Structure 1
Amino acid sequence: MNYFKKIMRYALPYKTYAWLNIISNVFYALFGTLAMVSLFPMLSVLFDKTKQLQVEPEWTGIANAKDYAENYLNYFVTEKASNGPEEALLFMVILVIAMFLLKNLFGYLAMFFITFLRNGVLKDLRNDLYKKTVDLPVSFYSEKRKGDTIARITTDVHEIQHSFLSLLELIVREPLTILFAIIAMLLISVKLTIFVFIFIPISGLIISWIGKSLKAQSERVQREQGFFLSILDETLGGLKIIKGFNAENIFYNRFKDSTTRLFKFSNTLLNRQNLASPTSEFLGIVTIAVLLWYGGHMVLVEGTLPAEMFIVYMALAYQILTPAKAISKASYSVKKGNAAAERVLEILETESAIKDKPNAQIKEGFESELSLTNISFKYEDDYVLKNFTLHVPKGHTVALVGQSGSGKSTIANLITRFYDVNEGTINIDGQNIKDITQKSLRDLLGLVTQDSILFNDTVIGNLLVAKPEATDTEIIEALKIANAWEFVATLPKGIDTNVGDSGNKLSGGQKQRISIARAVLKNPPIMILDEATSALDTESERLVQDALEKMMQHRTSVVIAHRLSTIQNADTIVVLSKGEIVEQGKHQDLLAQKGVYFSLVEMQSFA
């Protein structure tokens, strides 16, 4: 129940609806019992068993409440019967209808109020999960499947709604229905009620035994749902590769294996869960059957219980069955919900490895230098950067080159603080980036990556990510600097044209120029370009390179380059190998040394 308590914190903003639901459920349970009890006077009239009572009885205390209620009822029926039995019977029928009407009215009101609470909790839980998903560092998702995260925000939260939040509907209504029914049953016959309750612990033990393994089985189902969603996500993202390599069967078999496992796990889970209702109903009917035998003995043999009271008693006993079944099903649902809540809370309670210090400062601008001093970093066991030192004066362009795996992109990840260094410091104007807020750090940085990340939105929507308050004029100016306006202007709706999922309606060069326009619009003092032209054809590379050069004017830039032809004008070129600097200098100076850089240029020239 620990997870249940944590999830219930989300219900606090909606406590008004909870109280209204509780009040409505109290009346629902009360009128539900009174509806059954109101059958008694009607049966008395029908069987002509009403004792004639001409004098109104007097209240003599709570100890005689049952006798007083019965005598008053007889007196009331006697008064009505004086006008004819039809009037008495009609009144009793109206009374029964009124009780059932009030019961169902308050039942609807209870559901009406709980709807706002359930959906409110669902909304807030999903909002917090999404916010946490965005807040967690990039490193968190390098070990997680995207599909698993999607499953937690969708299916697991949905499971919580149908388990924990369904319990809110039952937590007051069903116990009160049982309580009021038991009180009425005790008033009719204490002896018979005690006999009934001998069987209830036996039923409870059997139901508990059925539900014990549900949590573990539910966890397997939810984990497998995350796995097949991951396969689906990878399939949609890599459809060209799958088709290009005729790998449809490989992925189909992988997906089919997952759904087969899900089929088996779900069958086991649902069959165990479905056992709840028939089991509780059978046990209830056994109790009713025993009750018929024992109560019938009291009516027919002992003569200690009137027949019409026994019929009402049976109706009350049967009324207990429905809420008892609902409670037993809810106990199973809580076990399933517990597994879902555990997965949801795992994300919500994950401590971010990268977070602002309590006294982190807001840095407004960039004055003099970006410096990386003796930094070392490893993703897992082996260091990918070792004792790396680099100083980038304001207004300078520094290019990082080297073979794949030499640590170039890692430097971009560290400057943007997607990861934190293991050793050493990264300073802006002499201030450690760990001492300033992540938001103000990233406000100083512009990022253009090798993969042109665009969202399924319009051109203007993708650019407004960088500057939400930008005008159309500013948008168009940024597009012109990025050499993108020439093709955006010809799109069907111009800047209001949707670019498709991941920008798939555009070519690679067009997507990259939109990405550059986004960085231009942000207008940051420090620009980080992570192999921004490596995936482009020659013509697109020329247009993008021209756009980059215009963008980098009067800015401090760190350029991670794959194509060396794009960084010949850099103020400093740093050559990396296995996480260490092996050469640095200007283009011509490094060529003259005929070292590693010269070899890289020769290889690309030859290629």
Structure 2
Amino acid sequence: MKYFQKILVYAKPYKTYAILNIISNIFYALFSTLAMVSLFPMLSVLFGQTESITVAPEWTSITEIKDYTINYLNYYITQNVGSGNQGDALMLMVGLVIGMFFLKNLFGYLAMYFIAFLRNGVLKDLRNALYNKTVELPISYYSEKRKGDTIARITSDVLEIQHSFLSVLELAVREPLTIIFTIAMMVAFSAQLTIFVFIFLPISGFIISLIGKSLKKKSDKVQKEQGTFLSILEETLGGLRVIKAFNAEQTFAGTFQKSTNRFFKFSNSLLNRQNLASPASEFLGIGVIGILLWYGGQMVLVEKSIEPELFITYMGLAYQILTPAKAISKASYGVKKGNAAAERVLEILETKNPIAEKENAIAKEAFNKNITLKNISFKYEDDYVLKNFNLSVNKGKTVALVGQSGSGKSTIANLVTRFYDVNEGEIAIDDDNIKDLTKKSLRDLMGLVTQDSILFNDTIKNNIALGKTNATEEEIIEAAKIANAHDFIMEQPNGYDTNIGDSGNKLSGGQKQRLSIARAVLKNPPIMILDEATSALDTESERLVQDALEKMMQNRTSIVIAHRLSTIQSADTIVVLQKGEIVEQGTHTQLINNNNVYKKLVDMQSFDV
């Protein structure tokens, strides 16, 4: 129940609907019982068993409402039967029955109407909270998790919570009250019969509870497997070109089918156990009804201690308990199944972000002096990628980081933007530790262009304006011109309003990269971080992109992570990294004259120089 209580927090904004639902359910339960009880006077008329009352009964107190109601009905029937109007009396009784059932169903509909707003509202808020948490959590979190598993939690797991936990809210008032009102009337009709019923009900309840014990475990397996095959699907769509190029369709199809086969097996096991709930509870209930028929029949036919019409009405009430009891047992299984889904959803919602802001974090609005990395050490897992690293980047200067793959170049970009936090040392902007700054203000000072041009399934205009949503059309066009992107944009079918498809796949690599640069230009940050922005381009595209980068870096502080050394020869300082440490630094000319590591790297790329 601890998960249920945590999920209920999301129902608070919809408490008005919850209250209206409870009120409607109270009336539903009341009229559900009265609808069955209203059959009694009609049966009395039909069987001619109505007690003759010639004087209208007097109201005494609320505790005598049952006797007053029956006596008044008998008085009314006596008056009409005595005057030969048996048809009118029967019509009244039929009208009473129809009226009770109408009110029962009216309030039943109103209860479902109000609960719909609560259920769907909680569903919406849960998904919003999950999405916000997904965006808030650091990049490191997703290096350990499958994307498909996260998608499964936001979609199917939240839906499972709606179907299981939130369905309990519908039953929490209606079904127990229906049972309570019904039992109260059963006791009023015959306390002896009711005691007999309660001897057998606990036995039925115990048998039903045994069936549902393993549901949470089975449901957890189903939901985890759903996350697995969604991950396989996500990877397949992302790498479709490679899969086809290497004729690996069958390999991936086999992996996917193994997952869906496990899902098939787990789902069958879960559903078969869950589907046993309803027939088991109904069969056990009918068993109790059967025993009741035998015992009550003895009271009617042998002992003559109860009237036939009262016993028929009593049996109707007893059978009426079966439906809410069955619904409660089914809901209890749903809670067990929903526990697994809630646990997976709350695991994300309750994950603490290791890159947290301080309580009184500074909102830094300007960059004035320099960026300094002081004795920083960092590791992703066990081995340090950077060790006692020191670097200073003065305002207006361009510093290039070069070195072999795995030397720690991109790690520096991840640390400066605070996608990760350093293990030791500190990174400061104008002597302010970036851990003391708000993440928003820190990233507002920076523009990022990565090797992989990350674009979104939207128009060119909206992709460029991602970091400045209030930009004018003139500003967007100017940014595109600086990025050498305006000409190819105007060749698109709808110009700046052209949709570029999923991940910008309608564009070439060079075009996508220039849009990424235009996005950074429009943001107009004082610090620019370029993470191998030209390494994946052909020569012609590289020249266009390099020209765009040089325009963009004018009058800005830039940290350039370079693979192609020809693109950083004009940098103010070139820092050469090897295994997380600086082995040399200086200008291009100085490092060439040193005839050391940098010279060797240049010679290896001599075709680029």
What is the TM-score of this pair, normalised by structure 2? 0.99
Alignment of 1:154-169 (within 5 A): 154-169=155-170
Q: What is the alpha-carbon distance in structure 1 between the residues aligned to residue 124 and residue 70 of structure 2? A: 51
Q: What is the alpha-carbon distance in structure 1 between the residues aligned to residue 62 and residue 519 of structure 2? A: 79
Give the structure 2 partner of residue 334 of structure 1: 335
- In the TM superposition, what is the alpha-carbon distance from 1:359 to its structure 2 partner? 1.4
Give the structure 2 partner of residue 46 of structure 1: 46
Query: Is the aligned partner of 1:96 residue 2:97?
Result: yes
Query: Is the aligned partner of 1:273 residue 2:298?
Result: no
- In the TM superposition, what is the alpha-carbon distance from 1:426 to its structure 2 partner? 0.5
Deviation per residue, 1:113-144 (Å, 9 max, x gap) = 00000011111111111001101111111101
- In the TM superposition, what is the alpha-carbon distance from 1:533 to its structure 2 partner? 0.4
Alignment of 1:134-533 (within 5 A): 134-533=135-534
Give the structure 2 partner of residue 543 of structure 1: 544
Q: What is the alpha-carbon distance in structure 1 between the residues aligned to residue 400 and residue 193 of structure 2? A: 90
Give the structure 1 partner of residue 19 of structure 2: 19
Q: What is the alpha-carbon distance in structure 2 between the residues aligned to residue 583 and residue 61 of structure 1? A: 100
- In the TM superposition, what is the alpha-carbon distance from 1:70 to its structure 2 partner? 3.0
- In the TM superposition, what is the alpha-carbon distance from 1:56 to its structure 2 partner? 2.0
Q: What is the alpha-carbon distance in structure 2 between the residues aligned to residue 96 and residue 71 of structure 1? A: 17
User: For 1:464, what is the secondary structure of its paired residue?
Assistant: helix
Q: Which structure 1 residue ranges, 5 or more long, are not aligned?
A: none
Q: What is the alpha-carbon distance in structure 2 between the residues aligned to residue 29 and residue 79 of structure 1? A: 32
Q: What is the alpha-carbon distance in structure 1 between the residues aligned to residue 228 and residue 248 of structure 2? A: 19
Q: What is the alpha-carbon distance in structure 2 between the residues aligned to residue 197 and residue 243 of structure 1? A: 67
Work out the percentage of aligned pairs sharing the same amino acid. 74
User: For 1:198, what is the secondary structure of its paired residue?
Assistant: helix
Question: Measured at CA, do residues 331 and 193 of structure 1 come closer, stay the same or move farther in structure 2, by a change above 3 Å?
Answer: same
Deviation per residue, 1:508-562 (Å, 9 max, x gap) = 0000000000000000000000000000000000000000000000000000000
Give the structure 2 partner of residue 75 of structure 1: 75
Q: What is the alpha-carbon distance in structure 1 between the residues aligned to residue 420 and residue 249 of structure 2? A: 36
- In the TM superposition, what is the alpha-carbon distance from 1:68 to its structure 2 partner? 3.9
Q: What is the alpha-carbon distance in structure 1 between the residues aligned to residue 159 and residue 63 of structure 2? A: 50
Deviation per residue, 1:72-97 (Å, 9 max, x gap) = 32112212324410000011111111
What is the TM-score of this pair, normalised by structure 1? 0.99
Q: Which structure 2 residue ranges, 5 or more long, are not aligned?
A: none
RMSD: 1.0
Q: What is the alpha-carbon distance in structure 1 between the residues aligned to residue 42 and residue 201 of structure 2? A: 30
Equivalent position amino acid for 1:426 in 2? I
Q: What is the alpha-carbon distance in structure 2 between the residues aligned to residue 292 and residue 535 of structure 1? A: 82
User: For 2:364, what is the secondary structure of its paired residue?
Assistant: coil
User: For 1:49, what is the secondary structure of its paired residue?
Assistant: coil
- In the TM superposition, what is the alpha-carbon distance from 1:51 to its structure 2 partner? 1.2
Q: What is the alpha-carbon distance in structure 2 between the residues aligned to residue 154 and residue 606 of structure 1? A: 51
- In the TM superposition, what is the alpha-carbon distance from 1:59 to its structure 2 partner? 4.7
Deviation per residue, 1:446-469 (Å, 9 max, x gap) = 000000000000001112211010
Equivalent position amino acid for 2:381 in 1? E
Q: What is the alpha-carbon distance in structure 2 between the residues aligned to residue 42 and residue 515 of structure 1? A: 80
Deviation per residue, 1:475-498 (Å, 9 max, x gap) = 000000000001001111111000
Q: What is the alpha-carbon distance in structure 2 between the residues aligned to residue 160 and residue 318 of structure 1? A: 30
User: For 2:601, what is the secondary structure of its paired residue?
Assistant: helix
Equivalent position amino acid for 1:298 in 2? M
Deviation per residue, 1:141-160 (Å, 9 max, x gap) = 11010000000000000000
Aligned length: 607
Q: What is the alpha-carbon distance in structure 2 between the residues aligned to residue 496 and residue 249 of structure 1? A: 39
User: For 1:258, what is the secondary structure of its paired residue?
Assistant: helix
Q: What is the alpha-carbon distance in structure 2 between the residues aligned to residue 365 and residue 500 of structure 1? A: 36
User: For 2:466, what is the secondary structure of its paired residue?
Assistant: coil
Give the structure 1 partner of residue 134 of structure 2: 133
Give the structure 1 partner of residue 37 of structure 2: 37
User: For 2:188, what is the secondary structure of its paired residue?
Assistant: helix
Q: What is the alpha-carbon distance in structure 1 between the residues aligned to residue 92 and residue 569 of structure 2? A: 100
Q: What is the alpha-carbon distance in structure 1 between the residues aligned to residue 545 and residue 410 of structure 2? A: 20
Equivalent position amino acid for 1:259 in 2? T
Q: What is the alpha-carbon distance in structure 2 between the residues aligned to residue 216 and residue 105 of structure 1? A: 39
Give the structure 2 partner of residue 562 of structure 1: 563
Give the structure 2 partner of residue 28 of structure 1: 28
Equivalent position amino acid for 1:18 in 2? A
- In the TM superposition, what is the alpha-carbon distance from 1:64 to its structure 2 partner? 5.5
User: For 1:536, what is the secondary structure of its paired residue?
Assistant: coil
Equivalent position amino acid for 1:396 in 2? K
- In the TM superposition, what is the alpha-carbon distance from 1:200 to its structure 2 partner? 0.9
Q: What is the alpha-carbon distance in structure 1 between the residues aligned to residue 68 and residue 368 of structure 2? A: 91
Deviation per residue, 1:542-597 (Å, 9 max, x gap) = 00000000000000000000000100000000000000000101101111111111
